[in-house]
């Protein structure tokens, strides 16, 4: 016991939990975010897989004999990687954005802000959880739709790189949208007027070489196009643009969005009222 006038010396073992507190906080928030979507996996995983299969059945059946994109590659086979990547992107965005807006509206965001979590740890937990959900749904779509097409795996490395970067970008974008939005209507507008158009106009269902010159130029200004085109290159070894160029665009987009999200988290914008 400390006597009057003495200075208390803390034991090193008491400082150990403080040293690893950040790691524990990151792991706890990550676990919470993963558990949040996994507890309702019928809605968050199974439903998107079913939606992708319906897209494949409808578009594949209607356009199989009418659209030829690459030589010796059927339209159904061309469509599968696009649907897989589309599912990855949409579900990565949905995970982080829905988590934040729900926490803000219900008022339990305070339980995330009170612990000594740095903005880096919050960013990492939300984005990694989004990547996990996106890849889980994408893998489910791939396993189901692979039965309908003769797929090739020209370069698995490109597939993994673009899947991880794409999910990371949309998880980060969802984080930004969740921070900015104050109600579900604003988040829905963000998704309906930005995410959905950018996804559907990115070459999921077609090659941009089949478009008029103006719309080809518009597609080249869409970062989502480079995610899907690079991802598709990993399957077939052919693409509309160089995969290295796509990687540069996608990597740059991730750096810019990550810097913006970290700045918003550090400043507490619309989080600490």
Residue 5 lies in a domain: no
pLDDT for residue 10 is more than 60: no
Q: Over range 78-90, report the average pLDDT.
A: 94
Burial of 77 by CB count in 10 Å (0-12 exposed, 13-18 middle, 19+ buried)?
buried
66: pLDDT strictly greater than 80: no
- 23, two tokens: 């790691």
Question: SS3 of 68, please?
Answer: coil
Residue 260, domain member (yes or no)? yes
Q: What percent of the chain has pLDDT over 90?
A: 63
What range defines the domain where residue 195 resides?
Answer: 22-267
Considering the chain, what percentage of its residues have pLDDT values greater than 70? 90
pLDDT in tens, 153-162: 999 999 999 9
Whether residue 156 is contained in a domain is answered as yes
Q: Is residue 203 part of a domain?
A: yes
Tally of structural domains, the chain = 1
For residue 13, being part of any structural domain is answered with no
Q: Write down the pTM of the prediction.
A: 0.88
103 domain-assigned: yes
CA distance 178 to 103: 10
Q: Is 11 inside a domain boundary?
A: no
Strands annotated E in 45-199: none
Q: What is the DSSP string of 38-98?
A: HTTHIIIIIHHHHHHHHHHHHHHHHHTTT---STT--HHHHHHHHHHHHHHHHHHHHHHHH
Q: DSSP character for 126?
A: H
Domain membership flag for residue 38: yes
Confidence of residue 17 (pLDDT cuts 50, 70, 90): very low
Q: Which of 7-21, 156-170, 234-248 has the highest mean pLDDT?
A: 156-170
CA distance 83 to 250: 18
What integer pLDDT is reported at residue 206 of this predicted model?
Answer: 84
Rounded-to-integer distance, Cα 191 and Cα 256, Å? 19
Residues 98-102, mean pLDDT to the nearest whole number: 94
pLDDT of amino acid 15: 37
Q: Tell me the pLDDT band of 73, cut-offs 50, 70 and 90.
A: confident
Q: Residue 176 in contact with residue 260, Cβ under 8 Å?
A: yes
């Amino acid at each position: 016991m400390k006597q009057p006038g003495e200075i208390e010396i803390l034991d090193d073992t008491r400082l150990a939990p403080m040293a690893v507190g950040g790691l524990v906080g990151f792991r706890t928030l990550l676990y919470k975010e993963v558990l949040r979507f996994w507890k309702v996996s019928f809605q968050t995983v199974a439903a998107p897989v079913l939606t992708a299969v319906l897209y494949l059945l409808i578009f594949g059946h209607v356009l199989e004999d009418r659209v030829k994109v690459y030589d010796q590659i059927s339209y159904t086979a061309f469509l599968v990687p696009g649907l897989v990547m589309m599912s990855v992107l949409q579900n990565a965005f949905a995970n982080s954005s829905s988590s934040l807006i729900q926490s803000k509206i219900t008022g339990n965001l305070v339980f995330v802000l009170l612990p000594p979590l740095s903005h880096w740890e919050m960013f990492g937990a939300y984005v990694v959880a989004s990547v996990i959900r996106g890849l889980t749904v994408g893998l489910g779509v791939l396993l189901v739709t692979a039965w309908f097409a003769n797929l090739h795996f020209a370069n698995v490395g490109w597939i993994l790189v673009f899947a991880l970067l794409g999910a990371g970008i949309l998880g980060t974008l969802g984080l930004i949208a969740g921070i900015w939005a104050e109600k579900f209507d604003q988040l829905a507008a963000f998704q309906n007027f930005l995410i959905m158009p950018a996804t559907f106009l990115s070459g999921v269902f077609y090659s941009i070489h089949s478009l008029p010159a103006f719309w080809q130029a518009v597609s080249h200004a869409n970062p989502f196009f480079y995610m899907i085109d690079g991802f598709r290159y990993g399957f077939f070894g052919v693409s509309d643009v160089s995969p290295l160029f796509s990687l540069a665009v996608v990597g740059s987009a991730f750096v810019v969005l990550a810097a913006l999200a970290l700045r918003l988290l550090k400043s507490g914008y619309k989080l600490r009222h």
